């Protein structure tokens, strides 16, 4: 079955440490996205990529980095520059078109700073 796989489901980070969240899709979607969700809040866009080897900053990109070397993969690195990284991170993908095409989401990674 096609879908998006995020790993790990839970991740713990020490102060000053970089961590990478994995996002893999087998839907042949062109576009991929990373969102952050804090308790009681909506989703905020971190980075997005419309095609391989290209990505743009979203609304809250500071302290994060991404790469898009393969169509299937869009890993997110949370760097030590991100001062408040504890949150729920959701990866999504979509066909790169307008219309009724929404997102397919992964099941999320919950990151906690210890």
Partner 1 sequence: AQKITQTQPGMFVQEKEAVTLDCTYDTSDPSYGLFWYKQPSSGEMIFLIYQGSYDQQNATEGRYSLNFQKARKSANLVISASQLGDSAMYFCAMRDSTNYGGATNKLIFGTGTLLAVQP
Residue 50 interacts with partner 1 (CB under 8 A): yes or no: yes
Residue 75 interacts with partner 1 (CB under 8 A): yes or no: no
Length of the chain equals 114
Binding mask 24-43 toward partner 1 (x if CB under 8 A, else -) reads -------x-x-x----xxxx
Of the candidate residues 22, 52, 58, 75, the single one contacting partner 1 (CB under 8 A): 58
- Rounded distance, CA 26 to CA 38, Å? 27
Residue 97 interacts with partner 1 (CB under 8 A): yes or no: yes
Residue 56 interacts with partner 1 (CB under 8 A): yes or no: yes
Q: Taking a C-beta distance cutoff of 8 angstroms, is the pair 112, 10 a contact?
A: yes
List residues binding partner 1 (CB under 8 A): 31, 33, 35, 40-45, 48, 50, 56, 58, 88, 90, 92, 94-108, 110
């Amino acid at each position: 079955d096609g879908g998006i796989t995020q790993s790990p489901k839970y991740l713990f980070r020490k102060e000053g440490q970089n961590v990478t969240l994995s996002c893999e899709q087998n839907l042949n979607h062109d576009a991929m996205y990373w969102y952050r969700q804090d308790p009681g809040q909506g989703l905020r866009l971190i980075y997005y990529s419309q095609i391989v080897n290209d990505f743009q900053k979203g609304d809250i990109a500071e302290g994060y980095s991404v790469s898009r070397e393969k169509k299937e993969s869009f890993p997110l690195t949370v760097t030590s520059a991100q001062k408040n990284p504890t949150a729920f991170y959701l990866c999504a993908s979509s066909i790169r078109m307008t219309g009724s095409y929404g997102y397919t989401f992964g099941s999320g990674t919950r990151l906690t700073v210890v």
